[in-house]
Amino acid sequence: MQSQSEATRGAASAPGRRSGGAGLSNPPTVSIVIPVRNEERFIGRCLESVFAQDCDMSAVEVVVVDGRSADRSREIVKGFAARHPNLKLVDNPRRHVPAAMNLGIQSCTGELIIRLDAHGEYARDYVRRCVETAVRTGAELVGGILIVQPGADTLMARTIQVFQGHRLGMGGASHRVGGHEGPADTVPFGCFRRDALAQVGLFDERLIRSQDNEMVARIQAAGGQVWFNPQIINYYYARPTLRGWLGMLYINGSWHTYLMRILPSAFRLRYLVPLAFVLIVCGGALAGLVWPPAWWAAAATLGSHLVLSLLASVQLASRHGWDLMLTLPWFFPLCHLWYGAATFMGMFRYCLVAVGQRPEPSRPERAVWTPPESKSHSA
């Protein structure tokens, strides 16, 4: 099999938006950063897939940033570090993801920084294809497709899995439903050029969620390119329980609106679709008390959604098992109403922030280019 170093040397001469070798070694040095907090169920499988890559992983720097885990996550990582001297564990006292990414970026040396999620496993060619794509296209951020796996062997876990992979469930983004290689508005996790981060700055630690969207928007605003390659494959384990899934939806839905104030260009109108659904259905039901025709608008909207949900449920059940018909028909409207309600609450919080009732910390310092050490971390 072709080594990653050979592949990236060949890719460096391929045509692209800019010279792939501009600002990079040949082959480029590579670091992997993995934020972790209480991931004992998944971090072992994640690291197994990292060190099983089809390239020389002894030449790749791996940084696991732990947010003071209360489970066995640190112990598991230390076990891997004992076998792999290129893995180091960094402490994250602030515990959340953007702080973990900033600590990881500042403590690693790679010209390309691959951000991985501890909740996933990665195809054997993941690192090699990230590097090949970054060099070939010259893009500041590259990423691939997110193939959702059930977090447990239960009907609800499978329901959450298939919901995320359907256009009616989580939208039609290429990284969720597939698509052709090319420029994209976002990619999951991703492989960053360090010089791009040096230009736009570190992750914004005010954003406990949506920090990836904000970073992507800053890269694009600076003239950078985001590139999607469906051959870069990440297997992500979804939340296995209804309570855990709804909790994550609520946090994501509410934080999207705070993103609007932090960086308006990062906000997408599609984030407001569930909110519009909630306002028409719930607002129409209330308005009908004083103006009865509003009930018809609410009923028509809800009825249309239920029909689409039923059709999507039949489509998914025919592929993944008819027992999903017990959950999917009500799961679609529940998730959209819940996410819309979370967005509404986020709007309320956004208004409080807008009038100065919620103090904001200063922006994080800009990332500083750190020259690679004499020891190479090339892939």
Q: Return the pLDDT at 353.
A: 58
Is the per-residue pLDDT at 110 higher than 60?
yes
| Whole-number Å distance between alpha carbons of 134 and 266 | 23
Give the model's pLDDT for residue 23: 67
> Chain-wide mean pLDDT for the chain?
86
Is residue 378 predicted with pLDDT exceeding 80? no
| Range with the poorest average pLDDT among 1-5, 131-135, 264-268 | 1-5
Cα 211 to Cα 105: distance, rounded to the nearest angstrom: 15
**∠ CA 26-28-31 to the nearest 5 degrees?**
165
Q: What is the pLDDT of residue 6?
A: 36
Q: Which pLDDT band holds residue 262 (cuts at 50, 70, 90)?
A: confident
* Residue from 126, 64, 113, 114 nearest 90 by CA: 64
pLDDT score, position 370: 45
pLDDT in tens, 228-240: 999 999 999 999 9
Mean pLDDT of 162-181: 85
Question: Which pTM does this prediction carry?
Answer: 0.84
More confident: 283 or 24: 283
pLDDT at 182 over 50: yes
Residue 7 has pLDDT above 70, yes or no: no
> How far is the C-alpha of 329 from the C-alpha of 62, rounded, in Å?
43
Answer yes or no: is pLDDT of 227 > 60. yes
Share of the chain above pLDDT 70, in %: 86
CA dihedral 15, 18, 22, 25 (to 10 degrees): -40
Query: Each residue of 307-337: pLDDT tens digit?
Result: 999 999 999 999 999 999 999 999 999 999 9
Q: Is the pLDDT of residue 209 over 90?
A: no
Model pLDDT for residues 341-374, shown as the tens digit of each residue:
999 988 877 766 555 444 344 344 444 434 444 3
pLDDT band at 16 (very low <50, low <70, confident <90, very high): very low
Instruction: Indicate if the pLDDT at residue 3 is higher than 50.
Output: no
**4-239 is classed CATH 3.40.50.1580:** no
Please state, in angstroms and rounded to a whole number, the distance separating the CA atoms of residues 237 and 49: 14
Task: Give CA torsion, residues 246, 249, 250, 253, to 10 deg.
Answer: -160
pLDDT of the residue at 98: 94
**pLDDT tens digits, 28-59:** 999 999 999 999 999 999 999 999 999 999 99
How far, in Å, are 105, 137, 185 from residue 194 at the CA level?
8, 15, 20
Q: Is the confidence at residue 191, as pLDDT, over 50?
A: yes
In the chain, domain spans: 4-239, 264-354
For the segment 47-93, what is each residue's pLDDT rounded down to a tens digit? 999 999 999 999 999 999 999 999 999 999 999 999 999 999 999 99
Model confidence at 266, in pLDDT bands (50, 70, 90)? Answer: confident
Q: What is the DSSP letter of 186?
A: -
Question: Does the pLDDT at position 175 exceed 90?
Answer: no
